[in-house]
Structure 1
Amino acid sequence: MELVGLLAINLGVAVAAATILWLASIPLRDVSIIDMFFALIILAITGVSFLLADATGPLQWLLLTMVLLWGVRITAYLMARNWGHGEDPRYTRLRSWVDSERRFIWLSLRKVFLLQALVLWLASLPVQVGMQQGTEAPGWLAIAGTALWLLGLVTETVADRQLQYFRANPSNKGTVLCTGLWRYSRHPNYFGELCVWWGIWLVACEVPFGFLTIIGPLAYSYLIVNVTGQRTLDKKLAREKPGYAEYMATTSGLIPLPRRKSR
């Protein structure tokens, strides 16, 4: 299949999956389900790309495995963490933008579900291009990308587990997690997530013009750092937790680094 046709089909897959989640959010009154199931959209795009490939080779199987392991892990974690806990406050505040439930339903379709569908389609461009052209044996870029992906997967898994144990202890309520990986980064889980997708991009660089899909990890990085992740969470926690301002002053925002001295 031609690459343009595959990209068009996968954009339709992303929009369709996001629309299904949007429809499910209406009776649940919970826009947060997009956060729990966003990885399934990328998994669907990956699966379609694999099935529509003219031929399959080691590089395609590698990409399929990377996305599958990442997607299953993060979906299971987010479902266990968020299911039954109500709508995320970010989306609850979004409801105040309009004066009726009906208007919010259409607002959430545009501002949340379709926007995320587009970003996830962009983020998965390395996978789509790699699946369409990647029949050759993996080279040194694929090896480097796999190593970076593995670092990211292990980092975000350990960080999520440390955060899970911290939150499970009632005595930690209102305090700041600053041990383990969280001693060296305020958001080691986000760091791991970005390593996963920059690693996948490196693997895609094995195919002709694969490097051009850099727009994918760039878009995903921007979303995580500036929109839904690091900066938004920092502002929220700085308001809610007394010790968080000090934590921000001494701890790297994303990349794990030695702690700075307190001012």
Structure 2
Amino acid sequence: MSGFPWSAFAPNLALSAAAALAVMLVTFALAVRAGLHRIVDVAWGIGFTAVALTTFAASAGHGDPVRRLLVTVLTAAWGLRLAVHIARRGRGHGEDPRYEALLAKAQGSRNAYALRMVYLLQGALVWLVSLPVQAAQYVPGRPSFLAWAGVALWTVGVGFEAVGDAQLARFRADPGNRGRIMDRGLWSWTRHPNYFGDFCVWWGLFLLACDSPEAAAVSVVSPVVMSLLLTRGSGKRLLERHMADRPGYAEYRARTSGFLPRPPQRGGERGRR
């Protein structure tokens, strides 16, 4: 296998940053017009898709064609599924309480504050987290067993996300479940099947870059940052803080794994949300 093509990869970093920024700026314009900043969550998955497609075009003639196509398809499938899911979930709702609380801190224009603290920050995170998607497409040589293991891990992750989201949507659609804690299906194995799924997706995409030590070194920051965000940042930690006072949540927490799936412990009453 020949060396990693740094001279071709370096300009791609700028192109992918421009793609992520363009998605966020268009989303910002739409959000200002609608008066609803929660739509930035839809742009999260779209931003990764834009980076993957931009890199696919820019890496032609450099990386292995099979790996390039594989990484692009996997990233777009994950990103677009997530975008559609979030758009459907948020339809008909007002502003997200997270953004209401954030924008309440603004001194001056709320929209200018949102641009700096939400859109530009998320654009930078899309660029950073997508480093394996970018680097993998420049890796020469056919995908190895390690890369295909990454595909398998990605599949597990998307499965957890999609099944967990569908189970929660069905649960919430039943009026008889109003006020109850969702503790069925995958939600009885982990309190956060969607976050665990995200964790698997990004470690899986990282493995697709690991056939090149150089690509692995430049992109390992991505799954590490994503893991920290999911477990200690804006994911699990904030959601559990929000849920802490809900009736029945303490019992659910006691019997259910906080992240990595495991069989639920016996005992405890079904709670109410």
Same fold (TM over 0.5): yes
Cα pair 2:139 2:215 within 8 Å, conserved: no
User: CA-to-partner distance for each residue in 1:17-50, whole Å, 9 max, x for gaps?
Assistant: 2122112111212111111221111111110100
Deviation, 1:177, is 0.6
**Letter in structure 2 aligned against 1:83:** R
Distance 1:114 1:95 in 2: 15
Cα pair 1:34 1:113 within 8 Å, conserved: yes
Q: Secondary structure at the match of 2:220?
A: helix
Q: Secondary structure at the match of 1:178?
A: coil
Which ranges of structure 2 fall in alignment gaps of 5 or more residues? 1-6, 269-273
Give the corresponding residue for 2:216: 211
Correspondences of 1:122-133 after superposition (within 5 Å) = 122-131=128-137, 133=138
Deviation, 1:219, is 1.4
Give the corresponding residue for 1:24: 30
Q: 1:40 and 2:11 equivalent?
A: no
Distance 2:120 2:211 in 1: 31
Deviation, 1:69, is 1.4
**Letter in structure 2 aligned against 1:28:** A
Query: Which region of structure 1 is more displaced relative to structure 2, 114-123 or 71-80?
Result: 71-80
Number of aligned residues: 259
**Letter in structure 2 aligned against 1:165:** R
Give the corresponding residue for 2:69: 61
Give the corresponding residue for 1:85: 93
**Letter in structure 2 aligned against 1:43:** T
**Letter in structure 2 aligned against 1:3:** F
Which ranges of structure 1 fall in alignment gaps of 5 or more residues? none
Return the TM-score normalized by structure 1. Answer: 0.93
User: CA-to-partner distance for each residue in 1:193-240, whole Å, 9 max, x for gaps?
Assistant: 11011100001111341221110111122222222211111111123x
Percent sequence identity is 36
Return the TM-score normalized by structure 2. Answer: 0.90
Deviation, 1:79, is 1.2
Q: Secondary structure at the match of 1:60?
A: helix
Correspondences of 1:1-263 after superposition (within 5 Å) = 2-55=8-61, 56-98=64-106, 102=109, 104-131=110-137, 133-212=138-217, 213-239=219-245, 241-260=246-265
Query: Which region of structure 1 is more displaced relative to structure 2, 164-173 or 7-16?
Result: 7-16
Cα pair 1:43 1:67 within 8 Å, conserved: yes
Distance 1:220 1:207 in 2: 21
Distance 1:109 1:99 in 2: 13
Deviation, 1:98, is 2.7
Distance 2:158 2:145 in 1: 20
User: CA-to-partner distance for each residue in 1:51-94, whole Å, 9 max, x for gaps?
Assistant: 01142511111111111211221112111111221211111111
